Amino acid sequence: MPQSASGSRASTWIYLLPVLATFFWGGNFVVGRAMHAEFAPTAMSFWRWTIALIVLLPFCLKDIWLQRDLVRLHWRRLWLLGTMGMAGFHTLVYVALQYTVAVNAALVMSMTPIFIALLGLLIYRDPVSGRQGTGIVVSLAGVAVILMRGDLATLATLSFNAGDVVMICSVPLWAAYSVIIKRLPGEFRPMTVIGTTTIASVVTIFPVYLWELQTKGGFDLTPETISTVLYLGLFTSALGYIFWNKAIVELGPTRTGVFMHLVPLSGTAMAIFFLGEKLMIFHGIGAALIFGGIYLASAKSKAS
């Protein structure tokens, strides 16, 4: 991704930007679950990114035009980012939220760093140390606890919640997005990447949305549905990505990336507060294992 500035020169308010972005993204789980009966998953994803595109395009067009040769050269990567990390990932999240609670989805999302490490190993042969391998196993154990809801008998019956399984399948898509975007040429400007990948996401999901309209119908235009797509489009998509990319430029990708851990925490807190979902003991055990594994996998060894 594009250049980063020294964190020491960044103003204190810059740190508010990634906090707000992760707060918006945590709210995505709550809104997706709260409105799952009113929206089909593809409709929610399509209108989210369509509204985001309408908002972002005026800010992105200049950079896209100036970097058109770079975009043409790397269009396959940009298209892949929009297809997987935006259209694919978020549509699967909304599918998962048709069947599972927001707390489960948010906590499963927290295993993203583990999948980033695994994909880095498989795709780019990035080495994984013994400590990182241990962290991956510990985090996966935490996801298993959540998946089984703390009941080992679930393994015997294989009666896992379909939403939890779909949510687990969605995480590698976001992890792949994170791995690929880090390897884009440094000359790319943030708004160029945001604009082109958002276009790709809308174009990719549009045929699926048309099929969904024909088979399942649309949604009713009510104050609730309108406010939902506006929140998803303006806050979780447009502002969330603008704030996040501004933070990357000012603070650097490593320092900004730490804030991603606020997504499952904020999503879980809002699900409990707004939806009345309960935090069970198995949630706490699973979250402790996941974050413990992330700490092991991300901490540098003394030898390094």
Query: What is the pLDDT at residue 281?
Result: 85
Give the C-alpha distances (Å, rounded to integers) separating 7 from 21, 23, 89, 116, 190. 18, 21, 30, 24, 18
pLDDT of residue 78: 95
Find out whether 109 and 115 touch, Cβ atoms under 8 Å.
Answer: no
Stated pTM of the model: 0.82
Those residues whose C-beta lies under 8 Å from the C-beta of residue 59, and which sit 6 or more positions away, are 191, 195, 242
Q: What is the pLDDT of residue 37?
A: 92
Ordered mean pLDDT values, 10 residues apiece, the chain (304 residues): 48 85 92 93 95 93 96 95 91 94 83 76 73 77 74 61 88 84 86 94 96 90 94 93 78 69 82 87 82 71 42
Element (H, E) at 298: helix 281-298
pLDDT confidence of residue 8: 47
Q: What is the pLDDT of residue 253?
A: 62
